[in-house]
Amino acid sequence: MSSGHRRKRPRPSYSCMECTRRKLRCSKQIPCSACVERGVAQYCRRRTGSSVSEARDPSPVFGASSTRRIPDDRGTPSVIPCSDAINNLSPASHSSPVRTQQGNITTSPMNPDTIDVHCAVPMLQESRPRRRVVDNVNEDAAVMLEFLALSRQRVSQIAQIDQTHIRGQSSILTEAYELLFTLKQVRTMMAYHQDCISWIHNVVHLPTFRDQCESLFADPTKVQPCWLALYYAMLAVTLYHADPGILQEIDIPSSTQMSELCYQKSLDSLHRADFMINHNILSIQAICLLIYVGHNLGQSDRISVLLASAVRIAQCLCLHRLGSTSGEGADEAQRTQSARQQWLIDREVSKRVWWFLVRQDWLQIPFNNTYTIHPTQFNTPMPANCEEDVDLMFSTAGIIEHDQEHFTQGSYTMVLNHVAVLIWKTQDKMCQQGHPNKVDDGLRKLYTEVIQADRDLRELMNKMPSFFRGPTTSSSMQEVHIKFQREVLFLALAHKFYSVHRHFQIPSFKDPWFAYTKVSCLPIIRRSLATIVSSPEEPYFYIVRSMWTVNTQVLTAAEEIRALALKTSRFLQINQTKSRIAKRGFVLINTLLDLDRRIESGDREHFNIKDIVSQVEGNDDHPTAAPADLHCDAVNSGSIVDWLARDITTWESIVGALEGV
């Protein structure tokens, strides 16, 4: 046959089978954004090249026709970098694609989402080359089969197998449970939470949750255990932060005890739902809320483990792969308006939940020197700056996203999200420098990165919404909310300056090379601390004072300056009946002040960390560890402790040095 009559080979298709079947635009990445947004990422796969050409091209694989190109879909990266919030990151840890000698094939980490478990390998025929059979098998098939043996939920979801009867779980709670409050009380508390508390976390769409509460009281027989965990968590946070006077108006006398009860019931509901097996975004939301009570109850270790679990569950639910566009397909467009709006709300809540986990993970980097979430492993953008009221939230085109100068419930967390990104970038740059003991002039190179982070943080402050940078002329109730959020935010930023400079706090008073640290940190700490401790007593300030982050940041700031330490001690003393952070901080500050006076008078020569720990633990009704378990040699071997022990500098000399700068 002449070459002119040779049948032309079809061009390879890089669109997934779902988008091809629905005639939708495909992002041509597996899983594509359209399938992720429709919740069918597990079904997203390309038609393999051999399935298209086998019937048309019976030529053998080897020989003259062996120049057939390998389809590029084998080289499509399964991990997409986060494109919106951190598109300017350039970490050294980003690995470059690996090129093989057989062609431009980019290797990538295995992703179970891209596995075609429906692809059956036909029986080998004697006349069929073995290469063709292998072409039909996805490279991650072995991993998926291993997951199948391990009873991973992902396999069951892809195969559409109901595992409820196998796991012995039910989506409806059949055991007895307590609602604890009347519908009227719950309505009042949730309305108060929406108006005054939701800005702290921003992981729950309160109008939707309040409708769900109405449905619960209308039919208490149909409730999911994971939703009940969220219900109790919402109550716990509300009871803990609400002003007692407001709660007494609805006949709730002891808010602290009831908050602890709801906290424990939320934990019990999570375990009753077997949340580590039965993955649900409601469980993640409950964990996010429990943070605000658990830390104050002295259960930080439990909270850290729950957060790690929440991150993994969120990844299993693909909350990290939502993409920058909605990818709404034709089937979603045919929904009713209310159903479409709820779909968009659920997507927005998913973004908020994911970035809450990112924020919690990255803001603790300066203290743990490690993190769980890497920015190249997710592409979920930051949440939109939008209203919560459904009537104000939507237009015909979708969610109305305002610029940052428009105050919303998410304005506070929006700033902290950008701070968290900055903290991660700083950590990555410092890791690029290597260990200071193994690099020439390593400590000063690290300090150069700290100085740059300090500048970036100040630039971020200058670019914050104007209502957070200074007072406005408005006298509305919204301005009252903004005022206290602004003070909390300034305290948080002061804490972040301290975090960035954390490893150079003591050297800044010994080596002039690091003197910028004391010039940078102490003034903003003094300003924010003085503002917080002098705030007037009113219901909204009670919320601020009850936040575990405020108590922690006040304690950190007070350790730097003696003049404000006494006022801070009284601030923490008020909260010590309900917060173990405040209680232990109150004892710690007074112990440090006493040691400072004794060192200044000559009765003591140095700080002894073991004595300080023993004093704080001895005044705690529920100590975390026996003082005898703490060995002095182990504690005093750290570099920071060595700095403290070598050259004593009292608070008076610190403040004096600052004022002399």
pLDDT over 80 (residue 301): yes
pLDDT over 70 (residue 123): no
Give the pLDDT confidence score for residue 504 in this predicted structure: 83
Rg (CA), the chain: 29
Q: What is the mean pLDDT of the chain?
A: 73
Distance CA 236, CA 244 (A): 14
16 forms beta bridges with: 46
pLDDT over 80 (residue 560): no
Give the pLDDT confidence score for residue 627 in this predicted structure: 38
For 108-177, the DSSP string reads ----GGG--TT-PPPPPPTTS-HHHHHHTS-TTHHHHHHHHHTT-HHHHHHHT---HHHHT--SS--S--
Per-residue pLDDT tens over the stretch 6-37:
555 566 677 888 788 777 878 878 888 778 77
Domain residues of the chain, as ranges? Answer: 15-167, 183-399, 411-660
Per-residue pLDDT tens over the stretch 240-251:
888 888 888 888
- With 0-12 / 13-18 / 19 or more C-beta atoms within 10 angstroms meaning exposed / middle / buried, residue 74 is middle
Per-residue pLDDT tens over the stretch 600-628:
676 776 666 777 787 777 777 655 444 33
Give the pLDDT confidence score for residue 434 in this predicted structure: 77
Taking residue 40's Cβ as centre, other Cβ atoms within 10 Å add up to 16
Segments of 234-345 assigned E as strands: none
Statement: the pTM of the whole predicted model exceeds 0.85: no
- 173 band by pLDDT with thresholds 50, 70 and 90: low
Quote the distance between the C-alpha of residue 634 and its chain's center. 33
Judged by average pLDDT, the poorest of 139-143, 145-149, 285-289, 639-643 is 639-643
538: its two tokens: 């009113």
Distance CA 226, CA 59 (A): 57
